[in-house]
C-alpha cells in the first residue's frame, strides 16, 4: 500500500460525484493536483467530446503541476478517443506521481497507465479508498461496458403497507415534499428517466428535473416503453422543447402514430415483432446510444417485468407514514414473482435515512455489488466503449 493523501482522495470523489449524469458515454471521474500537501487544482470529466478530469485539473494547475502529484478516481486513459489520451497530458505537465482508485478495463488501454508513464519516469500507483463510493460513481459506465445495457435504478414511493396507489389508482401524493425533491435530484444525476405506457396514460408525467435552482446541464432523456403506441401525442412526454424523448414500441404501434411521434422530434425504436417489447434488446439499444444510467419511474406491471428479467440493479424506496389497505391496491413490483424464498432477488441495504416524514431506503442488488467488486479487483472483462 502506497502512502497517499486521504483528503485528496475525498476531493477527487466529490468532483466525480458532482458530474454524475452529465458525462455519458464517458464515466464520471474526478481529479485533483496536490503539491506539498495542498490541493492546488481540481477537475471533473466534462460532457462528451470535451476534456477528461485529468486534463481539466492539469490545465487549472498550469506550470505548478510540475513535480506535483495527481489523484484520479479512474486510471488515466492511454488511447485517443474523442479526446487525446490523458497520459499524454500527464507526461507534458511534469507530474511526479499518479494515484488512481480503479483500473480502466477498456481493452483499448493497452499496457495501461502505469507502464506508459513509467517510460517517462512518472510513478503510477493504484490505491484503495472508499470502495463503495468509487463503485457508485463508476457502476453505470462499467455496467454498459460489461453487460451492454444501462445501469437500472428503480424509484418508488409506497405506504407503510406496501401500496403505491389506492385501489382506484390515486397515487399523488404518497410521499412528502422532501422526498419528491430528492427524486428531482436523482433525475439530475442520470442519463435517462424511463417509464411505460400505463404510467404515461394514467399520470401524464413530465419526467423532467424541476429544482429550486436552474439545472446547469441538459435535461435527462425521457424513455417511454409503449408496445402498441397507446400514449396520446398531446401528452407531456412528447413535448421535446426542453427534454429529449425516446419511444420504444413494436410493430403493433400504427404507422400513423409513429409518424406523428417522430414529427414531434421524438426518436422511435420500433422492434420488428408483434408482442411485448423485448427488454434486453431495448436496453442494449439505449446503451449503444451512450446511455449509462436509467432511473425507472413506472407502474408495478412494467417494473415486475424488469424484475423477472433481473434488470433492476438498485432501488430507492420512499416509505410514507400512512396505510392505504385493500387487496386490489397495487404494490411496487408485480410480475411472475417467485414461489419460494430460496431464490428471491436479494439486495444489500446501503442506507436508511429520514426524508422529511418518510423513510428513504437505498438498496443495491447482489449482482450489481458482485460486478462492482470484480471491477474493483480488476477481474472483469469489458467491451470497447462506443
Residue 252 C-alpha cell reads as 403493433
The residue with cell 407502474 is 299
SS3 317: strand
Q: How far is CA 17 from the centre of its chain?
A: 11
Annotated catalytic residue: which of 54, 75, 297, 314?
54
Helix/strand/coil (H/E/C) assignment for every residue in 53-107: HHHHHHHHHHHHHCCCEEEECCCCCCCCCCCCCHHHHHHHHCCCEEEECCCCCCH
DSSP assignment of 31-61 equals EEEEETTEEEEEEEPPSTTS--HHHHHHHHH
Active site residue 297: no
CB 240 within 8 A of CB 216: no
Q: How far apart are CA 262 and CA 268, in angstroms?
A: 7
Catalytic residue ranges: 54
Amino acid at each position: 500500500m502506497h502512502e497517499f493523501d486521504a483528503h485528496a482522495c475525498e476531493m477527487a470523489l466529490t468532483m466525480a460525484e458532482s458530474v454524475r449524469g452529465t458525462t455519458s458515454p464517458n464515466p464520471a471521474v474526478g481529479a485533483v493536483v496536490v503539491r506539498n500537501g495542498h490541493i492546488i487544482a481540481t477537475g471533473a470529466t466534462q460532457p462528451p467530446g470535451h476534456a477528461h478530469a485529468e486534463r481539466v485539473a492539469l490545465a487549472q494547475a498550469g506550470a505548478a503541476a510540475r513535480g506535483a502529484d495527481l489523484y484520479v478516481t479512474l486510471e488515466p486513459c492511454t488511447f485517443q478517443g474523442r479526446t487525446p489520451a490523458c497520459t499524454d497530458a500527464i507526461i507534458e505537465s511534469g507530474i511526479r506521481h499518479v494515484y488512481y482508485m480503479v483500473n480502466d478495463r477498456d481493452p483499448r488501454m493497452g499496457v495501461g497507465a502505469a507502464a506508459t508513464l513509467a517510460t517517462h519516469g512518472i510513478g503510477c500507483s493504484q490505491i484503495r479508498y472508499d470502495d463503495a463510493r468509487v463503485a457508485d460513481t463508476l457502476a453505470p459506465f462499467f455496467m454498459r461496458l460489461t453487460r451492454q445495457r444501462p445501469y437500472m435504478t428503480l424509484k418508488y414511493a409506497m405506504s407503510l403497507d406496501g401500496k403505491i396507489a389506492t385501489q382506484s389508482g390515486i397515487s399523488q401524493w404518497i410521499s412528502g415534499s422532501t422526498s419528491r425533491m430528492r427524486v428531482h435530484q436523482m433525475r439530475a444525476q442520470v442519463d435517462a428517466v424511463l417509464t411505460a405506457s400505463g404510467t404515461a396514460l394514467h399520470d401524464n408525467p413530465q419526467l423532467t428535473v424541476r429544482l429550486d435552482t436552474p439545472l446547469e446541464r441538459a435535461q435527462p432523456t425521457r424513455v417511454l416503453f409503449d408496445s402498441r403506441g397507446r400514449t396520446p401525442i398531446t401528452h407531456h412526454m412528447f413535448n421535446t422543447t426542453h427534454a429529449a424523448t425516446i419511444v420504444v414500441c413494436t410493430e403493433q404501434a400504427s404507422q400513423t402514430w409513429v409518424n406523428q411521434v417522430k414529427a414531434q422530434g421524438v426518436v422511435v425504436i420500433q422492434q420488428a415483432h408483434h408482442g411485448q417489447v423485448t427488454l434486453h434488446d431495448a436496453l442494449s439499444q439505449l446503451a449503444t446510444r451512450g446511455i449509462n444510467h436509467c432511473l425507472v419511474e413506472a407502474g408495478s406491471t412494467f417494473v415486475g417485468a424488469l424484475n423477472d428479467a433481473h434488470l433492476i440493479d438498485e432501488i430507492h424506496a420512499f416509505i410514507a407514514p400512512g396505510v392505504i389497505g385493500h387487496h386490489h391496491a397495487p404494490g411496487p413490483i408485480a410480475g411472475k414473482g417467485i414461489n419460494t424464498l430460496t431464490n428471491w432477488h436479494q439486495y444489500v441495504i446501503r442506507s436508511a435515512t429520514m426524508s422529511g416524514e418518510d423513510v428513504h431506503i437505498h438498496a443495491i442488488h447482489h449482482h450489481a455489488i458482485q460486478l462492482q467488486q470484480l471491477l474493483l479487483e480488476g477481474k472483469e472483462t469489458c467491451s470497447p466503449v462506443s
